[in-house]
Homo-oligomer: A and B are copies of this chain.
Amino acid sequence: MQTDRSVILYIAVSLDGYIASLNDDLNFLDLVQKDGEDYGYADFIKTIDTVIIGRKTYDWVIKQVSYFPHADLNTFVITHQKRPTLGRTEFYSGNLKELILNLKSQQGKNIFCDGGAEVVNELLKYNLVDEFILSVTPILLGSGKRLFGDGRPEQKLLLINTKQFETGLVQLHYQVTN
């Protein structure tokens, strides 16, 4: 039996659809940095207890800030190569769909997909994302890592909400309807 836990993709993206530049830097997010403005992130994080993240993105985060910010949540790092579990962080090399269905069969808060593009597109391929919260930053990067790859199924969306911020960031919140 499935619970009503949702898998939510909460991510920042340039207007032209990139989540990072080609060399994996996120400097474009500096454009929307503003003291005291977290774009609803703290409120969002309260609604989740589980994180799904790709191995490359996980390693990138560790390299950038030398710790994993979601170590206090149940985290599944999606990887081809198993590593020993670190506290609540598990390295998962099994079937992604099975993992999600298994998590959804258990009671809990929502599930946060924290990227990267490979995991996102794998989830989308199997219609496993329930909600999108995209923070569109006011820039065309011109090239980089695309959030949405080609060759996914079509999915109709319901617009829940849009928020416009002073920095020019626009947050779009959708639910999948089919």
Q: Is the CB of A148 within 8 A of B140?
A: yes
- Give the size range of A's interface with the partner: 20 to 34
A148 to B157, CA, bound (A): 21
Which residue on chain B has the smallest CB distance to residue A136? Answer: B172
List of B residues within 8 angstroms of A134 by Cβ: 15
Q: Does A96 belong to the interface (CB within 8 Å)?
A: no
Q: Is the CB of B162 within 8 A of A138?
A: no
List of B residues within 8 angstroms of A174 by Cβ: 15, 138
A132 to B140, CA, bound (A): 11
Q: Is the CB of A142 within 8 A of B152?
A: yes
Q: Is the CB of A142 within 8 A of B138?
A: no
Residues of A within 8 A of B (CB): 15-17, 31, 124, 132, 134, 136, 138-143, 147-148, 150-159, 162, 164, 168-170, 172, 174
